[in-house]
Structure 1
Amino acid sequence: MISYRVCVYAICKNESQFVERFMDSMSEADDICVLDTGSTDDTVEKLRARGAHVEQKVISPWRFDVARSESLKLIPKDADICCCIDLDEQFQSGWREKLERAWQLDTTRARYRYTWSFLPDGREGCVFWTDKIHKNGCYRWVNPVHEVLQYLGEGGEHFVDAEGVQLDHHPDPSKSRGQYLPLLELAVREDPQNDRNRHYLGREYMFRGEWAQAVSTLKAHLAMPQAVWRDERCASMRYIARCLRRLEREDEAALWLHRAIAEAPHLREPYLEFADLLYQQKDWCGVIFMVNCALAITERPRTYICEPFAWGSFPYDLLSIAYFHLSQWESALKNAEKAFALAPDDARLQENCALLRAKIQKESRI
């Protein structure tokens, strides 16, 4: 196995609380380079005390791509592999050996497993494969927010999947995402043909409860000739349906969920969002049909469009409730137990199991 010079690089501001964990996690790298963008706490001092190379530069007006590209300048010229990591992220041990084992002489970029969020009980939430590990000297960062790597090298990109490399995200929950919306609006103005940014903008309006604005923006995304990735198109359709439900336009929401299923029948999410709508409408047979369609999909996608609810207790919870309303107690209990096994801290699910066992026992005496 070839040995490479591996550099971790990052940007930060007022992230003192993460320094020790970050430096411990990144210690397998040859170099750790950090651009501090204006900390007023002791982040810089703590990083330097642990051996990181730190430089400071205030980015004004703020853009993530400018900060990331500035941090690229800190990487040693003879570094081979560059890992863009944030201070609130940590690799699981052994990551470097697994990365070097996957890396080939012609590799320009590596994909690896990323847990973006965790549930309150510590189980994984949103999980996907990301690709912020790259060859030195042939990339730059673009987009004011939701920044991505742009290849500048000769020939094409060559990706590898770094199996076994796991990066975990443990953010500060108090950190505001208020800057995202103006930066996304800027990103769409700068590059109106970028379909991904328009999708992100529509999603951000949805997150903020701006339902009508979200619907129009997401419809604009779907109308773009460049918007061809079916998973993301499906997500835009699902988000439109969510917004329409909030606007009490359920019939229209149902039409968009039909479209979402047709767009990406290989994903669980559109079936389950339709099942949730049918649950609200008390269409119990419809709920069972849609949930079973979702559960027939057993391979979890590696893309970022993979929502935790689709792979947790939610499908079985819906099934249990639907079977309960159809007086199918055994099926209701079986699915309630599956849901509880996936969410053992959920008191409601525990109580549902107990109530169903009591119901079955009572029925058996009649």
Structure 2
Amino acid sequence: MIVKNESAVIERLMKSVLPIIDSYCICDTGSTDNTVELIETFFKDNNIPGLVVSEPFQNFGYNRTFALQQCYNLENADYLLLLDADMVLEISPGFSIPDFKSSLTKDAYHIFQGSNAFFYKNVRILKNNPVFSYWGVTHEYVKTLPTSLYGDIEKTQLFINDIGDGGSKTNKFLRDIELLTKGLEELPNNDRYMFYLANSYKDSCQYEKAIETYKKRIEIGGWIEETWYSFYCIGKCYKELRQMEHAVFYWLEGYQHFQERIENLYEIIHYYRIIGKNSIAYMYYELADYIRQKYTSTDHLFYQKDVYDYKLDYEFSIIGYYCNRHNKDVTSSSMKALSHPSVDEDTQKNILSNYKFYAIPLKGLAEPNENIPLLTNFSTFIDKNEFVSSTPSIVLDTNSTKKNIIVNTRFVNYRIGNNGAYINKDKIITKNIMSVFDIEAKNWVKITEFELKYDAGYDNHYVGLEDVRLFSKNGQLQYNANRGLSYDHMVIENGTINLKSNMTLSSLVKKNSQRNIEKNWVLFRDHRNETKMIYEWHPLTVGTHRDHPEKLIDGNNKPITQFHPTDFIKTPSFFKWVRGSTNGVNIGNEIWFICHVVSYEDRRYYYHILVVLDNKSYEVLRYSKLFTFEKEKVEYTLGFIYFESRASFLIGYSVMDRETKYIDVPKVKLESLF
């Protein structure tokens, strides 16, 4: 490795290679900061032998070769790891370093470098052999023997994160242009010098010079990857110059010369989609998708992985609305793009905005259930002139020797207008009607019904318990609910329901760093039969509900309890918009939830998603495509149950907060959404 004024980044690199190296040899080309001191101190503190040598900078080929030569007499240096100061070596968990070292037999090994979205392979491990050297004034490469043997290291084992924030990058492009121009004076028409000179012109925004130089590189011929990339970059330069007819021409010329890459076709698709020529965009999309499926190698020069992974799918998530002659599933492409780790937030929001046109209505998968009308009968306890029925919650009764289900139906006194805005009265009132049904026989029977009594001491502008989520375990009926304490303050209430007294026993739940508005916390039962609570889904934050350690009392002289987080689990980035809808339903070793995502546009649009957790680790095992219940703008669910005997789910939901509905969906049909 060669360095110069790398004090800001060198320790980051050294920490990353510490597990794998046995010694070090670094050439300093003229640092005026404390780079050398940092290197020597770090390796001394970590008992790694080695040396720092000094040699004034001439060019990269010369100085890197000089650094190689200093390694020949090092002990414990059978192989050399070749890196730059602004890189980080990423070693996969579980990667056996001793086994890896003992497996090295070849002369040189390629390691992939770059980022998750853009990478290529380069010689980064080299046998310590005095006949090897570097060639090139800049963008140099390792020169081995014609008989040398090469190996490739899988990206899943080692990867070089090429961050590119080193101390010598300020004038990199101008420096490289000077070095490469001099190199071409000595070696006219050298393909490598010509290619990287064109790249340097492009990267320094000298697009006309870049185009001219790329054309010269194409005339030289040789390696197909460089000639294809030259066509591709000519198109990119013309795009910057706003000469799109020339850009499209050269992207197509690139396809004519090499048909195994799609970055050029992606640019054409994107261009025609942006200007509204979707039929042309779709024609090129079909070609690009065919190539992507046929040629699966990632071993390309400057491979733009994001184009293959999700950007092409994102284009289809828009084009597919206008052109889709083979009826390809647009929801799959949309979900693939939405869930990709590298996708930006604006793209995710745009996917959600378009998803309404493709979302699957779950109602279309439902089977007939003649007992559903019994569940939706309007309660005699409620004034129809003041209230409408809204979202139900449903749970299997674990306290009964019979097969019973318990239902809570919410009734509200507000409306949602045609534009999605709430139409409220002086107070926002919720009434909850509890019903118990005997489902033993073919025809279900309502056993009892009552209005749920609750602690009214917290009533204010908000009256009643909002979004009651029923949860039954070991014969005890529990719930979570949203409790509005003032216009801009909502908390979670947790408690139990006594079916004999029709009354709740509850407490408000506090959390450290609590937000002003807290809602959508859900409950589940894990493999130890312990009740757990989910606070949020990104990261998936699981915890326990316990007495507050400070024994706090609220203004109503009631004890406050606490949510104590215990597990934080990584989830896809779009889960930052996922909110809990239902409590968990246990099926074997899995826990099933229905959650929701809201797209905020001219109004709110609700989507739903099934999320399945492992009941022991709480890891997300899988999640479904987004769906709707019946393609209404505002839909909501608070509960569902699973009938194991017939492998089917009964799901309760509301439409526009004014209709209570249920659907019966076979498990096998829900599985089709994953």
Shorter-chain TM-score bucket reads 0.7 to 0.9
Aligned to 2:317: 320
1:162, CA displacement in angstroms?
3.0
Aligned to 2:7: 16
Aligned to 1:254: 248
Residue identity matched to 1:134 = L
What does the per-residue CA deviation read over 1:268-297, in whole Å, with 9 as the maximum and x for residues that have no partner? 212212212322442212222323332331
Distance 1:358 1:269, change over 3 A: closer
Match of 1:141 among 134, 144, 148: 134
3-state SS in 2 of match to 1:133: strand
3-state SS in 2 of match to 1:35: strand
Determine whether 1:32 maps to 2:31: no
Distance 1:173 1:80, change over 3 A: closer
Distance 1:327 1:75, change over 3 A: closer
Residue identity matched to 2:140 = E
Aligned to 2:266: 272
Distance in 2 separating the partners of 1:350 and 1:80: 48
TM-score by length of 1: 0.82
Aligned to 1:42: 34
What does the per-residue CA deviation read over 1:181-226, in whole Å, with 9 as the maximum and x for residues that have no partner? 22222232222232122112112212222222111111111111xx
1:54, CA displacement in angstroms?
0.9
Distance in 1 separating the partners of 2:33 and 2:263: 42
What does the per-residue CA deviation read over 1:41-78, in whole Å, with 9 as the maximum and x for residues that have no partner? 2211111112341122222xx41112111211220336
Match of 1:157 among 142, 148, 151: 148
Determine whether 1:86 maps to 2:84: yes
Aligned to 2:304: 307
Distance 1:344 1:306, change over 3 A: closer
Structure 1 window deviating more from structure 2 (33-42 vs 20-29): it is 20-29
Distance 1:196 1:288, change over 3 A: same
Count of aligned pairs? 342
3-state SS in 2 of match to 1:193: coil
Distance 1:344 1:221, change over 3 A: closer
Aligned to 1:6: none
Residue identity matched to 1:318 = E
Which consecutive unaligned segments of at least 5 residues does structure 2 have? 45-49, 360-604, 606-629, 633-674
Which consecutive unaligned segments of at least 5 residues does structure 1 have? 1-9, 118-123
8 A contact 2:201–2:207 mirrored in 1: yes
Aligned to 1:234: 228
Distance in 2 separating the partners of 1:139 and 1:56: 20
Aligned to 2:593: none
Distance in 2 separating the partners of 1:242 and 1:290: 17
Q: Which has the larger radius of gyration?
A: 2
8 A contact 2:282–2:323 mirrored in 1: no
Residue identity matched to 2:131 = C
| Mapping of residues 71-82 of structure 1, within 5 Å | 71-77=67-73, 79-82=77-80
1:130, CA displacement in angstroms?
1.3
Distance in 1 separating the partners of 2:69 and 2:330: 59
Aligned to 1:112: 111
3-state SS in 1 of match to 2:301: coil
3-state SS in 2 of match to 1:16: coil
TM-score by length of 2: 0.47
Q: Which structure is higher in strand share?
A: 2
Aligned to 1:103: 104
Structure 1 window deviating more from structure 2 (191-200 vs 286-295): it is 286-295
Aligned to 1:120: none
Aligned to 2:337: 339
Q: Relative contact order, CA 8 A, sep 6+: which one is greater?
A: 1
Aligned to 1:205: 201
1:100, CA displacement in angstroms?
2.9
Distance in 2 separating the partners of 1:311 and 1:242: 18
Determine whether 1:221 maps to 2:217: yes
8 A contact 1:102–1:161 mirrored in 2: no
Aligned to 2:452: none
Distance 1:32 1:355, change over 3 A: same
Distance in 1 separating the partners of 2:343 and 2:236: 27
What does the per-residue CA deviation read over 1:228-275, in whole Å, with 9 as the maximum and x for residues that have no partner? 222221111111122223334333332222211121111121221221
Aligned to 1:183: 179
| Mapping of residues 121-132 of structure 1, within 5 Å | 124-132=116-124
Structure 1 window deviating more from structure 2 (94-103 vs 347-356): it is 94-103
Residue identity matched to 1:340 = L
Distance in 1 separating the partners of 2:314 and 2:335: 9
1:334, CA displacement in angstroms?
4.6
1:358, CA displacement in angstroms?
4.4
Distance in 2 separating the partners of 1:252 and 1:230: 21
Cα RMSD, aligned residues only: 3.0
3-state SS in 1 of match to 2:153: strand
Aligned to 2:190: 194
Distance in 2 separating the partners of 1:98 and 1:235: 37
Residue identity matched to 1:57 = E
8 A contact 1:95–1:165 mirrored in 2: no
Aligned to 2:427: none
8 A contact 2:110–2:150 mirrored in 1: yes
1:148, CA displacement in angstroms?
0.9
Aligned to 1:167: 160
Q: Which structure is higher in helix share?
A: 1
Distance in 2 separating the partners of 1:180 and 1:197: 10
Percent identical among aligned pairs is: 20
Distance 1:126 1:360, change over 3 A: closer
Distance in 2 separating the partners of 1:58 and 1:95: 38
Structure 1 window deviating more from structure 2 (20-29 vs 136-145): it is 20-29
